Amino acid sequence: MSRIALVTGGVSGIGAATAKLLQKSGYRVVANFFGNDVEAAAFAAETSIPTRSWDVADFAASQAGVAAVVQDFGPIDILVNNAGITRDSTLHKMTPEQWRSVIDVDLGGCFNMCRAVIEGMRERRFGRIVNISSVNALSGQFGQTNYAAAKAGVIGFTKALALEGASRNITVNALAPGYTDTGMVKAVPETVLQGILEGIPISRLATPEEIARGVLFLVADEAGFITGTTLSINGGKYMA
């Protein structure tokens, strides 16, 4: 029986590319989404990957969402915490809401989703968790104190949970994408993006598929000795 993978934010951008690549590679995939119903319907029709809607920033909704997935498809072997948002602003203009919403989704979502799957993984003594961080967690980024804090938090969270999971054959890794050709990056003002592109040695955005390949690598049964690491895929923009 093939392993079951749950991808949050799984109907667009890096999440959709990941869900499709995992499906193509023989995994049974469920894609979570929230707020983008039209995109989710199109994704489900195109891929026949089942989709389920809940807000990963909501603890109770995440518990219920995971329970429903387990009931409908079986225990979750692989969790890809990809759901994330930006609310870019310099700190001197940032509202508490811009701060909180990014922390709640990008970092809180990781806690809520891992908390919902971890007991089952511990019982079954198998798990693969990949938390999507960002190059900007490592380098910092003008206008992203909220996002850089959340995504750097994801890396610390990953390392701590990797220690806890190690004795149960649960690996936990972070993946730090660089600037990728998704809606999130397209929302960056053109002039700002031009400057960013000039700082990428490979001189282009990543494709979502190039990031998904990293996830596929980390979730393999054969990747059982890789844990607590952060895999950078950033075109050379930042070399940690």
In angstroms, give the least distance from the CB of 166 to ligand CAA: 28
Closest distance between ligand CAA and the C-beta of residue 88, in Å?
A: 4
Closest-approach residue to ligand CAA (CB): 143
Instruction: Please state the closest distance from residue 197 (CB atom) to ligand CAA, in A.
Output: 11
Tokens of 169: 């054959």
Distance of CA 99 to the CA centre of its chain: 19
C-alpha to C-alpha distance for 192 and 142, rounded to whole angstroms: 10
Catalytic, out of 27, 147, 179, 238: 147
Active site residue 238: no
Nearer to ligand CAA, 54 or 179 (CB): 179
Q: Which is nearer to ligand CAA, 24 or 186 (CB)?
A: 186
Residue nearer to ligand CAA on the CB measure, 196 or 226: 196
d(CA 125, CA 224): 12
- Nearer of residues 86 and 171 to ligand CAA, judged by Cβ: 86
**Site residues (CB under 6 A) for ligand CAA?**
86, 88-90, 93, 134-136, 141-144, 147, 179, 184-185, 188-189, 192, 196
Least CB distance to ligand CAA at residue 211 (A): 10
Distances (CA, A) of 159 to 42, 118, 225: 36, 15, 14
CA distance 62 to 113: 6
Beta bridge partners of 127: 170
- Residue 70: C-alpha distances to residues 6, 48, 73, 144 (Å): 10, 18, 5, 36
Report the catalytic residues. Answer: 147
